[in-house]
Amino acid sequence: MKQLLFILLLLGYAVFGQEPNNSTQVLLDNTSKEFTYNEYLGYVKKYHPLVKNANLEINKAQANLMMARGGFDPKIEVDFKEKQFKNKEYYSILNSSFKIPTWYGIEIKAGFDNNEGVYLNPENTVPNQGLTSLGISIPLGQGLFINQRMADVRKAKIQMQLSQAERKLQAIAVLYDASVAYFNWKKNFNEVKLYETYSSNAQIRFNGIRSLIKAGDKPAIDSIEAGIIVKNRLLSLEDSQLKLTKSKLELSNFLWLDNTIPLELSDEITPESQLEFTIQETLKTNDLLDNEFSINNHPKINALESKIDILTVEKKLKANMLLPKIDVGYSYLAEPSYIDNYQFEDYKIGLNFYFPLFLRKERGSLKLAKYKIQETEFILSLEKVQLSNKINAQKIEIQSLQKQKNIIKGLVKDNATMLLSEERLFSFGESSLFLINTRENNLVSAQLASIVLENRFYISNSELFKIMANPD
């Protein structure tokens, strides 16, 4: 009967000398379809609503640029007024114009006026056929080299670059959260497979012990101890299955199809078994671990630099407000039938001058604009240092976790060897069920620690991916 028990135990623990992932790999390859991490990220990048929402930032920036350029659109203006009272035409006034704004604040204007009436204001009197005009308006102080329309266009163009950087930052945040959900799903999946194996082994051992008790080779108390292990394994299995179900639901939050259709994983889908060897290539962190990473093109740095550029345009506009407002206008006047006969003595000119004496409002606005630039420059300098330190710290963490993984693999192998040795001693009657359970618990703890450490390794790589902020 002792030989029978030894055979049962060997059947139950035949997988102890293997890595937990290797036993899972055989199960995955033979019975189910893998959902690889690279394929999963492809779904998230292409269909997730928040990633699509990040892409809308570019569209909004393009719309803002179109709005800003609208300030330079040519304009047609028509102003018509007429008054009739007691069969008398008091006045009929028609003022129409076509204006073309240009980049440096210069405005070209063509107009046609046709006014008549008994009580017409003398200054509105024009020839019977009307009066045409062609003129130009030039700002000699404020608005010549920069004005609100020019500033809006410049800021809108810079906003395009800022939106590109912000889109990457928003997308990378979604991809990081999605990656953590995938890694937790894989971790819980491996734990379920581990507990399923040990629950089966505990049941085999329990049946073997009961057979030996019936044959009189073992005391009845051993069945109690074997039954406790069975219950503990079933309890751990049930808890791990609950975690797996919750992690699958959490993972489903990031899975969508076209037209914003949510997608759920079927029970037959399993995580990638060889993720350990493909994750760095998928996240493109393998090159960074071997080479230096330049932060000059980092989205956070680009975003802050774009903000400084926008504030610089705003500062130039505020500085321009310190100049006096001097607008000079000239219009050539002619009757429609005499347009070809240039009479330069027929004209209309205008001059507008405006200048506050103390300029306290303008000087205060300029100082605030300068302070905002300094504030953003301080943040930029701090962000550069923090990014460099974060990247270096993350690289060190990944290298350390790689070393820890190698150590834990050795621990799993050693505990498996100790368990096999204890089983052999048990078959010779030189050990006890208690010692076998102790050895098994140590092996389970080592394998669980290996799964947790593997999960930390995956998350650490995804954190480096998040710091790099390059979702494309």
Residue whose tokens read 């507990």: 195
Is residue 384 domain-shared with residue 464, that is, in the same domain? yes
Helix (H, G, I), strand (E, B) or coil at 2: helix
pLDDT, mean of residues 83-87: 86
Q: Kindly tell me if the per-residue pLDDT of 237 is higher than 60.
A: yes
Nearest to 454 by CA among 286, 252, 272: 272
Question: Is residue 314 assigned to a domain?
Answer: no
Is residue 274 domain-shared with residue 290, that is, in the same domain? yes
Question: Is residue 334 assigned to a domain?
Answer: yes
Is residue 119 domain-shared with residue 191, that is, in the same domain? no
Residue 425 burial class via C-beta count within 10 angstroms: exposed 0-12, middle 13-18, buried 19 and up: middle
Is residue 258 domain-shared with residue 284, that is, in the same domain? yes
- Cβ proximity of 243 and 426 under 8 Å: no
Q: Kindly tell me if the per-residue pLDDT of 213 is higher than 80.
A: no
Report the distance separating Cα 41 and Cα 43, nearest Å. Answer: 5
Residue span of the structural domain in which 423 resides:
2-48+150-308+374-468
Contacts from 385-394 at CB under 8 Å and sequence distance 24+? 387/295, 387/298, 387/300, 387/301, 387/467, 388/295, 390/467, 391/288, 391/293, 391/295, 391/464, 391/467, 391/468, 394/460, 394/463, 394/464, 394/467
pLDDT, mean of residues 409-418: 92
Nearest to 323 by CA among 366, 367, 368: 366
Residue type, 269: I
Is residue 186 domain-shared with residue 273, that is, in the same domain? yes
Helix (H) or strand (E) holding 139: strand 131-139
For 279-288, the pLDDT digits (tens) are 988 888 887 7
- CA-based angle 50:37:293, to the nearest 5? 80
Is residue 446 domain-shared with residue 334, that is, in the same domain? no
Question: Is residue 187 assigned to a domain?
Answer: yes
For 107-148, the pLDDT digits (tens) are 999 999 999 888 888 888 888 888 888 999 999 888 888 888
Is residue 176 domain-shared with residue 248, that is, in the same domain? yes
Report the distance separating Cα 181 and Cα 253, nearest Å. Answer: 9
For 250-278, the pLDDT digits (tens) are 999 999 888 778 888 888 889 998 999 99
Report the distance separating Cα 435 and Cα 61, nearest Å. Answer: 69
pLDDT, mean of residues 221-232: 83
Q: Kindly tell me if the per-residue pLDDT of 22 is higher than 70.
A: no
Q: Kindly tell me if the per-residue pLDDT of 180 is higher than 50.
A: yes
Comparing 197-211, 226-240, 301-315, 333-347, the range with the smallest average pLDDT is 333-347
Question: Number of structural domains, the chain?
Answer: 2
Q: Kindly tell me if the per-residue pLDDT of 9 is higher than 60.
A: no
Q: Kindly tell me if the per-residue pLDDT of 242 is higher than 90.
A: yes
- Cβ proximity of 200 and 12 under 8 Å: yes
Please give the mean pLDDT across all residues of the chain.
85
Give the per-residue pLDDT at 1. 41
Comparing 12-16, 107-111, 367-371, 413-417, the range with the smallest average pLDDT is 12-16
Tokens matching residue 92:
């009929």
For 351-410, the pLDDT digits (tens) are 999 888 888 988 999 999 999 999 999 999 999 999 999 998 999 999 999 999 999 999
Q: Kindly tell me if the per-residue pLDDT of 106 is higher than 80.
A: yes
Question: Is residue 315 assigned to a domain?
Answer: no
Question: Is residue 69 assigned to a domain?
Answer: no
Tokens matching residue 99:
């204006």
Q: Kindly tell me if the per-residue pLDDT of 304 is higher than 60.
A: yes
